[in-house]
Amino acid sequence: MCVDVETVLPEIDLNEVDSIVEPYLGRKEMVIPVLQKVQDHFGYLPRPAMEQVSRKMRIPLSRLYGVATFYAQFKMKPRGRYIIRVCKGTACHIQGSPKISGRIEEILGVESGETTDDLRFTLEEVACIGACALAPVIMINDDPHGRLSPDGIEKILEKYE
Give residue limits of the domains in the chain. 5-70, 82-158
Confidence band (pLDDT; 50, 70, 90) for 7? very low
Q: Using CA atoms, how far apart are residues 72 and 117, in angstroms rounded to an integer?
A: 22
Dihedral sign, CA of 9, 14, 19, 20?
Answer: positive
- Note the pTM of the prediction, 2 decimals: 0.77
How many helices (H) and strands (E) the chain has is answered by 8, 4
Which among 85, 83, 76, 93 is positioned nearest to 39, based on CA atoms? 76
Q: Using CA atoms, how far apart are residues 17 and 21, in angstroms rounded to an integer?
A: 6
Interior angle at CA 53, CA 24 and CA 27, nearest 5: 25
| Mean pLDDT, rounded, of the chain | 93
Q: Using CA atoms, how far apart are residues 145 and 26, in angstroms rounded to an integer?
A: 46
pLDDT tens digits, 74-127: 999 999 999 999 999 999 999 999 999 999 999 999 999 999 999 999 999 999
CB 84 within 8 A of CB 121: yes
Sheet holding 138-140, edge to edge: 121-126, 82-87, 138-140, 143-145
Class of domain 82-158: alpha beta
